[in-house]
Amino acid sequence: MNVFKKGSCPVISRCTRCCNQYHCPFCETYKTTSQLSIDNHVENHLKLAVNHDDFVIVKCNSHCRENAHFHCCYCPATVIRKVQLITHLKKCKQKLTIPGQEAQSPFLHSPAATAPLSTISAQTSHVITQAPPLSCPMAIQTSSSPVTSVFQSPAMTQFWTSPLCQPLQPVTTCPLSEAPFPLSASTQVLPSPTISSVLVPPEQPTAKRSQPKKNRIRCDHCDMELNKKNLRVHIRRKHTTVKEAITLQRHLFCQVIDSKHGIFAVAKSFSAPSIPIHVQKKIWGVNDKVMCELDQCNANADFAQRSGLKPFECCHLMSLAFCPKDDGNAVNLKEETLNEMVKEKWFGESRRDACIERQCLANKDDVPLSVAITFAGPSTKKYISVYEPKMSYYCRLGRVTVVYDSKKITWACPCNKTKQSCIHKAIAKWHLFQSQRALFQKVKTTERIDSMQIPQQQSENVGDCSDHQYPPNDDGIERIVRYLMKNKSLPVDLPQNLVSGLQHGSEFRHQLIPEETFCSECEGNHVLSEPIIITSRAKILTFTGVVEGISTYYKVCSNCSMMYRYQEFTDGIHNFNDHLLLSLHLCVILRNALQNHTAVSRVMSILEATAKAKFPSKDTVLHAYLHFEALSSHVYSYTCINCGYYPKVVIMDLHKKGVFSIPFSEIATPPSDFKGDTNIVSFWESVTMEMIGRGFLSSGRKNPFVVCPSYDCWAPWIGPNTRKSDIVLNTEHAKLQKTKSCDVPDLDVTEERLGDELFNLKVDAVRKLCKECGLDTKGSRMDLVLRLRTEMQNRSAYDKIFQQIWGASGGWAVITCPCGIVYSIKFNIRAESPRDFADLLLSWKHFPNVVIYDFARGLAAHVNLRKADSLPFSPHEGRLAEPTTANIQLAKEGKLKVNLPWLKNKKEEEDINCHPLTGSSEHYALYDRFHEFNTKDPRDALRRIQVVPELCGWVNTQTAEQLFGSMRKNNYFLNMLTPSGHTFLMRNIIHHYNTAQNKNMEDSLRKIVSPSDQLTFNGYGQIVLGTPPQSLNDSERHTCDITQIDQVHCPSQGSVIDMTALRNVQPNRACWMHPQSSDQIKMIENALNEKESRQQFLAQVGATILNRSDFITLGHPNDVEGTILNACLSMVRDIADLKNIKVHCFSSYVTVTWLPPLCADPSANLPDHIAECDFILLPSWASNHWMICYLHSNYILGCGKSMDVMISTVLQGRIGQIIVECLC
């Protein structure tokens, strides 16, 4: 029906065969029940149709060909474009014109015919694309019946092979009974009194109808496959770079809650359902305040403030510009309604009295008690904003949102669980009972709530590796391990093509030969031996199975006997012990499985059951994965992108159940002169070497690098930018001393806290413990606990009780920031005490201003006792106010408020020895919310969070507990590892956890900035927008400036800062060979000290942060890294600016692209002000060294050559007549 005569448009009626809908006569897919919709749809078809003579040709959307097309009314040809069809129709009409006879369409009768076309079925309405040549007409006898003109259309899927424009040959008519094509319901017989011929196409074999093919396409941005028609919407939603602004037409729904204090309810997001949140925008009066209660919005605001974007507002605050006025129809809750609810037993009298008391308090503060939020959520949910006078993490602006679900008959409040009652739910019920009483009809429910079943966790058995390998001795293994750590480390971000899992077994190399040709240990080029086979039966373990028949080889140096084995990652595999190799795809899967609390053994069991094949030992696979992580070049930074290297507020806690087996009798007493100083780098390097050394051990052979717990060689992990130096504190050996200080009577509370934990054990466990200690097992639990507490005075009994409650070791202590990022972790050998956290804090470069801990009093007393000369926790011994009777009473009543404004905005006048982010030297030790009432000392009321408005409700004091809630799911396999394996894997898991958290925060920040904006880090490790502000003090920054020596003399001591000031630097060749001053020598030795951490921050030039590793490449005979080279050139440019000399320095990363093989155009990198520069500095790489050349603008302007030609000439070494001076 895509070609019809004008005035004979098909009649549209409801379908009576398959459905009761309207079908479009021109396309197969469109169906609707609306008459108006089908009329508009057909009208659109007709608007796009082609009108030719008396015919209307509508675009066909059937499956004649892949795309929508037009059919020619003269021949079976199809054309896609409308313009091409018009041209084709003109040509085709001329070819089909017969002299003396009007052209006939193969699909339509002559104009003289009067039969309607509406009876043509859907089968005959389809058009045939090609027709075979009719070489000879088919003879058909005529009958005496009236002459008719008949055309029978074949099936839609027949294929003709004739030229598209070849006309059909006329043949004589025959009786219908003798026709070669029997007439069917789809055949249209058209009467024609004048025509004596019939057009009949030849018979063709019918073909099966092809299935419709969906037009699929891939997105260029995310490689997602989707329908072509959805691509534009997908790109607009997911990959658009234009962020829609908050306008009158597009803004978040909002509502006034408290007009006097500027409290509003705003929809949380644009997507449904509209969950409300509270914001405050009070810009009048004395106490103005603009704030959103979402953590992410506050993090974005802090980021904007650090970046210098002062006017920043989140989308919730911006939407308030379009908030409707307060209608003033607030519900005044009546006491009579409350009494009626008590009478109907919705709640008791005590709850009624609490509601009345809260209403009186709201009237006193002149705030509405409850307000219904009208814009939010589906119709089945009711949102009520309830007044709450106390600040907390769930109530930051004095309002709490209570949700009533009328479908599930449930109440939800953020202050407690769903099935628990609270004052906020009672007030919300009061509000709805008065305003919408129909919701409170008492009906029976048949719903059934099934309790969740928590599957029992299985344990993971970890043993020793039992695979064979070629056996170098212990010294040889150490040389190989150190070589692998230095030269064969894996990149942090592995190439996607290697971890995609697309490699099959046949694609892996079966001959794994080390790529080294010369020995790296010997001077000169000592050629290695020919490859020596280790085994020809090695296996590659992949996610889909095991690839067998792999041959591994090694090479040996004949001079020094150094061995080299295959250890390349570019083939997508990781070599563990020359007998077992893992695909990188499987390594990444195991890493992600551990992040989701699934042990390696469980993953292997799943793969074995799926592949129905025998995999290597699960312990061996675990060791292979640890080997992979040990060789990965992770930078365990342990820092938050929001809080920076030195957080202002930290939360500390202990994970008691994260333990490892350790025999205390085998731990040797440390030397008498041991003071607790431990080298953190050397300790963790030895742990890493143990993990790598497992790949070189034969069955039953002892690992020469095994690390056993000891008091003098056991270090925590603190981020390289957070700690003071590589020497950190670990004074657990002092726990062996049982003498107490009379000044701090309750400092050593290990036995007391261990006794408290006895009450958490079940009665059977307590009886078993009494039996092991030789005590009477009869009596109540209290009797048993008292016996055990008395028996704790005995050391052997104490150890038994400790191992039963705490496990083998003392758990691991962590320090986190309010964002939940772990900054420090310490694996305790013995039970926890404040000493463990004191060791961590005293190893930090900058002491936090606020420390939140469950035993804050003991921590403050212990730290101040160890540092009596400086008293880190001060003033008031870490309390928020002077411990007077009046202050204590006000704190207990919740009326004491101590403001610490420098937590939000840095002090303009900084204190001495202050924190770099706050400018304050005050340090407080506070209790977390769950332990602030556990203390017996009344003075500890001054250590509560709610006393500080800047902390109450804004700092989540349970970040460490929440971390433990997630990490305790790993205990079932971590606690079965060896001490070194436990510590290594735990540090690695926490590192990936921190990385994921930081990535989420960075992604959230990128949503509020333009895609072209650059996110960078300031000198304190905080993420900022664009170039970071220069916030470091001169005393804290080590510079790499050239010292000023106008005359050859030795500078006086203490004058290095004046010497390195840019204004004092002068060029003087005489100073190059002059002896350096003592201060200069100290600075250079510190910068080039390879024993210190290579990641330690030393200097900052503009937005570039330079670590010790950068200076080592500059000061030692190594390959100079381009970053510090660019920094040096920037310093030269700044020095020249102070001398009124304009210098332009090209980046070393840019100039190398001008040379082969890239051969980029230098003119594309020339700035607009290049003609105004006096000199141009060009770093060029030639003959394995950097050469810095300069061009003088006077010569360039005089020689008449273009700038790009001059630059290219200099870089390629064709000096010619250009004056080039080598500066270094």
Return d(Cα 533, Cα 554) in angstroms, integer: 7
Residues listed for the chain: 1224
Return d(Cα 1191, Cα 1175) in angstroms, integer: 6
Residue 1105 forms beta bridges with which residues? Answer: 1100
Question: What pLDDT does residue 580 have?
Answer: 93
Split the chain (1224 residues) into runs of 10 and give each run's mean pLDDT.
79 80 82 82 85 87 82 87 86 69 43 37 37 37 36 36 38 38 38 39 45 74 84 82 80 91 92 86 88 91 88 91 83 90 88 92 92 86 92 89 89 83 92 88 44 34 38 85 91 86 76 90 85 91 90 89 91 92 94 94 92 89 95 94 94 84 72 89 94 85 86 92 93 69 41 59 73 76 74 60 56 92 92 90 95 93 92 93 93 91 91 93 91 85 92 87 88 88 94 94 88 86 73 39 32 43 60 61 78 76 76 68 80 80 80 73 74 78 63 48 46 36 33
Return d(Cα 219, Cα 228) in angstroms, integer: 9
Containing 276, the helix (H) or strand (E) segment is strand 276-282
Question: What pLDDT does residue 800 have?
Answer: 56
Q: Judging by DSSP bridges, how do beta strands 263-267 and 276-282 pair with one another? A: antiparallel
Work out the burial of residue 1007: count CB atoms within 10 Å of its CB; fewer than 13 is exposed, 13-18 middle, 19 or more buried.
exposed
Residues with Cβ < 8 Å from 902, sequence gap 6 or more?
A: 849, 918, 919, 920
In the chain, what are the domain boundaries? 1-171+178-188, 213-242, 254-322, 335-437, 481-489+498-601, 649-987
Question: What pLDDT does residue 310 have?
Answer: 84
> What tens digit of pLDDT does each residue of 1002-1055 get?
999 988 888 778 888 988 999 998 755 444 443 443 333 323 323 333 333 333
Q: Which of 482, 438, 737, 459 is nearest to 601 (CA)?
A: 459
> What tens digit of pLDDT does each residue of 752-778 get?
555 556 666 677 777 777 777 777 777
Return d(Cα 190, Cα 148) in angstroms, integer: 6
Residue/partner pairs of 345-354 with CB below 8 Å, 24 or more apart: 346/429, 346/433, 346/440, 347/421, 347/426, 347/429, 351/421, 351/423, 351/426, 354/423, 354/426
Q: Judging by DSSP bridges, how do beta strands 812-816 and 188-191 pair with one another? A: unpaired
* Amino acid, single-letter form, for residue 796: S
Whole-angstrom CA distances from 324 to 282, 320, 382, 446 are 16, 9, 20, 42
Is the previous residue joined to 132 through a cis bond, with omega within 30 degrees of 0?
Answer: no
Report the phi/psi class of residue 414: left, alpha or beta, with left for phi > 0 and alpha for psi in -120 to 50. alpha
Q: Are the C-beta atoms of residues 745 and 870 closer than 8 Å to each other?
A: no
Residue 70 forms beta bridges with which residues? Answer: 79
Return d(Cα 512, Cα 536) in angstroms, integer: 10
Whole-angstrom CA distances from 45 to 359, 900, 1165, 1210 are 66, 71, 54, 67
Q: What are phi and psi of 52, to 5 degrees?
A: -130, 115
Half-sphere exposure of 1166 (CA within 13 A, CB side): 17
Residue 583 forms beta bridges with which residues? Answer: 573
Q: Which of 994, 1060, 1072 is nearest to 637 (CA)?
A: 994
DSSP string, 1112-1155: HHHHTTSPPPHHHHHHHHHHHHHHHHHTT--EEE--HHHHGGGS
Return d(Cα 487, Cα 480) in angstroms, integer: 10
Q: Are the C-beta atoms of residues 831 and 802 closer than 8 Å to each other?
A: yes
Whole-angstrom CA distances from 978 to 628, 703, 1047 are 18, 13, 63
Token readout for 803 is 């191992």
Q: Which of 923, 914, 866, 916 is nearest to 729 (CA)?
A: 866
Whole-angstrom CA distances from 183 to 151, 179, 205, 1162 are 10, 8, 17, 78
Q: Which of 153, 154, 195 is nearest to 172 (CA)?
A: 195
Q: Are the C-beta atoms of residues 1131 and 1062 closer than 8 Å to each other?
A: yes
Q: Are the C-beta atoms of residues 162 and 69 closer than 8 Å to each other?
A: no
Token readout for 695 is 């790949």
What strands lie across the sheet with 289-292, from one edge to the other? Answer: 254-258, 263-267, 276-282, 289-292
DSSP 8-state secondary structure symbol assigned to residue 667 = S
Return d(Cα 382, Cα 375) in angstroms, integer: 10
Q: What are phi and psi of 1092, to 5 degrees?
A: -80, 175
DSSP 8-state secondary structure symbol assigned to residue 646 = S
* Amino acid, single-letter form, for residue 547: V
SS3 label, residue 366? coil
* Amino acid, single-letter form, for residue 761: L
Whole-angstrom CA distances from 813 to 460, 727, 780, 835, 863 are 23, 19, 34, 11, 16
Q: Which of 272, 267, 218, 261 is nearest to 246 (CA)?
A: 267
Residues with Cβ < 8 Å from 1128, sequence gap 6 or more?
A: 1040, 1114
